[in-house]
Structure 1
């Protein structure tokens, strides 16, 4: 029974069989063709038997293994490697079919190659997940045939493997390297001159020419009988919270990913940089209620806590409750913090309804509200319509953009849009 499960016929087998059948058919009219057909049939059966015997004669003939990370990065290209060793005493033709997670809907994945006897070859391919969650890989199928390629033997490896797709840790590592090397200016982070002093005291030191006389510590000066000044450093251990809206509007897709996925990837990068810069990072997620609050901390396991917190967050089709959010933030976050609120509004009226709650948050914290710019809408607005359908699409896009621009969010004003 196992033999039948591993035994497969190749397209070449079917082609040769069809030729022999045609020769037999025309052999009824031409006797020489009938004789040739019988000789070919006997030879063909002999070759099939010999090739089958060669392929199934040994057990430890092919070794294959799929190499992939314990977790995949959402929204990025993830490389998968396949290591394959040919233990046959002859060269073989291979066809590799890896059973990818069903969410990719890829049904024609195939790698064909030739591997010499006793050699090991590494194959690689790239997958691009666009949704967080658990992905299930199936079996790794290897179809082996000789140089004749008439029949093949199927070997199965890595029966099944589950791998989790986390928020984009590849982008996180990219910006982490930049932060360590102080190269964040390349992506728009600029150093600015600060006026005044921070409030975090470091030490008392002797006065040297050039020190600000306003920092003179008169008590220490009296004790030491020489000028002493207070020395300050930039404030550290500040709290930075990424507040992520998981309501209906964050379900909107863009480039196969939802706005929520982009918000999660961005908050992951910001949190990691904050921890590298000796600040505290925390996460708040909400929709019609506050789902989770991860207190801002700075320790060795905080990044793992953030990843685990964001891993299974999903949007729903409920309206976000900003009043409830403001109440929970006042209750849970006592220290003044930087709040990065990732959200989106479809109309000006929906934005105006939430402004009182934004003002409430900004009284106790430094609030930054982050919107998403609709690039697809912008393309519809400024690309010339060439068909009736495109005219309809452009008209709807202009109406939608006009509603958004009335709230003064977006990068163009109402008059410019009307002129265009």
Structure 2
């Protein structure tokens, strides 16, 4: 009687654990390679044992009491026999197939292959060791496996943060034959994944560039002032082309209007100065302003390297974190990627003086200096204006300020009333002050951009193409 009583109390605890979904918590934090607890049938059956025990209290010498005890023992015996049907951990193996390099906010396919070598059919729930910074769809799989078989499932995961992550285990929640028991089996399958800024945009840009459809990503064709004279290639005529550049021999041969395209000036330099301080911690469309800045930096770097220019970067906050010397060539993209993928916005005040001192010391040749940052107070705006204007003449400075969409929404509220009126007035004052900052920089010879983070990439590429077309650099 005492034994069944202990089993009954244990059953009640397991039933509470099951009803509160503790097994989902244990699935991630189990200290051992396997763990066994009662399933829904086991918890219900063992809880019934405890109720039968309570029913025998005061009736221990009656026939009914002996029947209740016998029924109690039968349930315990069935549960004990069903416990032996749980497959062992050595009967399972798993493999994971996925790319070790991922792009921020881009879905990536993962394929799991589970092999089962046990003698009995089994029902299980499979769940991969997806990092908390990833979104997985679906999160788990219900699988029925025949003896000595294997199955393949797949899901898509979407990283929401850059950096290095690891997927070390595959979790299997296995049910016993009669569903009295559950067992967690952890199978080691290690994969290291590096999440970089959006790299798939580079492939999309290359595809659209080959088909002359860059307008689909917001890149407009820029009419050149003057003309370079190094012939590059022949291509189909478009409405923006100069009639003087039509190659009539090729047109007659191809029976299609064909123009000569010339190379733009090469061997120029672009240096990105990306603020990684507190001003870049705000988010837009689910990612930080710094992530938008890196996406735009990589896209423009890709475009500039294809043009034959050199590209470098200075990443800073309260100190200079990374410096990538300006170089040309396709390999420079790898240096920029590795320099940026593990940099995150920090809640520190940015030291523009140290960043510009580093620029002055290491970059003496005339360059297009692109500072990507954000301002909301006069102290930072004064520093940005001061240091950018000192570059005029020696370099071509371009200040890129990222907008906060919440300010514009507050300022554009229709018929504000009460607290909304004060909020709209404060937002309008900030936006007016911000406009004066940009105007002052423009009057002092600094190129300035004020864009929403989600529009940064296309606008920055267009600005670069305009600078190249007007031979400002």
Q: TM-score, normalised by structure 2?
A: 0.67
* Equivalent of residue 43 in structure 2, options 11, 14, 26: 14
**Residue 84 of structure 2 corresponds to residue 53 of structure 1:** yes
TM-fit CA distance, 1:10: 1.6
Distance across 1 between alignment mates of 2:205 and 2:388: 29
Instruction: Give the 3 Å change call, closer, same or farther, for CA 126–110 of structure 1 in structure 2.
Output: closer
Structure 1 contact 179–276 (Cα < 8 Å) conserved: no
In structure 2, runs of 5+ residues without a counterpart are 1-30, 233-242, 246-260, 439-449, 453-473
* Equivalent residue, structure 1, for 2:381: 351
Distance across 2 between alignment mates of 1:99 and 1:148: 28
Alignment of 1:250-329 (within 5 A): 250-255=280-285, 257-329=287-359
Q: How many residues are aligned here?
A: 380
**Residue 99 of structure 2 corresponds to residue 69 of structure 1:** yes
* Equivalent residue, structure 1, for 2:426: 399
Q: What whole-Å deviation, never above 9, does each CA across 1:386-407 have from its counterpart, x for those lacking one?
A: 998xx37x73464144123223
CA RMSD of aligned residues (A): 3.9
* Equivalent residue, structure 2, for 1:128: 159
Structure 2 contact 276–317 (Cα < 8 Å) conserved: yes
* Equivalent of residue 365 in structure 1, options 388, 395, 417: 395
Structure 2 contact 276–316 (Cα < 8 Å) conserved: yes
SS across alignment from 1:126:
strand
Distance across 2 between alignment mates of 1:95 and 1:148: 16
SS across alignment from 1:47:
helix
**Residue 291 of structure 2 corresponds to residue 234 of structure 1:** no
Which stretch has the larger CA shift, 171-180 or 181-190? Answer: 171-180
Structure 1 contact 136–163 (Cα < 8 Å) conserved: yes
Distance across 2 between alignment mates of 1:36 and 1:242: 83
Q: TM-score, normalised by structure 1?
A: 0.74
Q: What whole-Å deviation, never above 9, does each CA across 1:14-61 have from its counterpart, x for those lacking one?
A: 1121123324434568978656644543443343333332334x6652
Instruction: Give the 3 Å change call, closer, same or farther, for CA 20–70 of structure 1 in structure 2.
Output: same
Distance across 2 between alignment mates of 1:174 and 1:146: 50
Distance across 1 between alignment mates of 2:274 and 2:294: 7
Alignment of 1:34-53 (within 5 A): 34=65, 37-38=68-69, 40-53=71-84
Which stretch has the larger CA shift, 263-272 or 350-359? Answer: 350-359
Instruction: Give the 3 Å change call, closer, same or farther, for CA 121–105 of structure 1 in structure 2.
Output: closer
Instruction: Give the 3 Å change call, closer, same or farther, for CA 111–316 of structure 1 in structure 2.
Output: closer
Distance across 2 between alignment mates of 1:21 and 1:380: 62
SS across alignment from 1:295:
strand
TM-fit CA distance, 1:371: 1.5
SS across alignment from 2:153:
strand
Distance across 2 between alignment mates of 1:163 and 1:5: 26
